[in-house]
Amino acid sequence: MLQQDKPCDYVIGTGETHSVKEFLEEVFTYAGLDWKEYVEIDPRYFRPTEVELLLADSFKAKRELGWSPRITFKELVKIMVDSDMELAGLDSPGEGKKILKQKGIDWTDNHLAVG
């Protein structure tokens, strides 16, 4: 994006939509926990429905930049959990690191660098 001749706006996203509940289920399942034992839901904090659906359309980025997502939702969850667990001094399951290695992305001191 930064190397383009003219500034332009691009949407970067997977074109998928996921709920907070789905995210919780993925994160806690990967960590070997039941989210219902750790998360308390308070309806006072539900935000009003502003739009029916939020979904990224990254067609322009693909067309003009050749960009497409390399990491899926479930892979991202594993990468994030591994990183957070290691930052907390815990042993992570390690699947997130394997995913990054398979995709040519280095994990160094909790910074990611495309190789």
Where residue 36 sits, what CATH number does that domain have? 3.90.25
For helices 73-87 and 20-30, what crossing angle results, to 10°? 60
Range of the domain at 68: 20-114
Q: What are phi and psi of 43, to 5 degrees?
A: -55, -20
Whether 88 is covered by a domain: the verdict is yes
What is the predicted pLDDT for the residue at 28? 97
- Please name every residue paired with 47 in a beta bridge, in sequence order, or none if there are none: none
Whether 96 is covered by a domain: the verdict is yes
Model pTM? 0.78
Domain total of the chain: 1
Whether 5 is covered by a domain: the verdict is no
Whether 13 is covered by a domain: the verdict is no
Whether 35 is covered by a domain: the verdict is yes
Question: Tens-of-pLDDT digits for all 115 residues of the chain?
Answer: 888 888 899 999 988 999 889 999 999 999 999 999 999 999 888 877 666 778 899 999 999 999 899 899 999 999 999 999 988 999 999 999 899 999 988 876 555 555 4
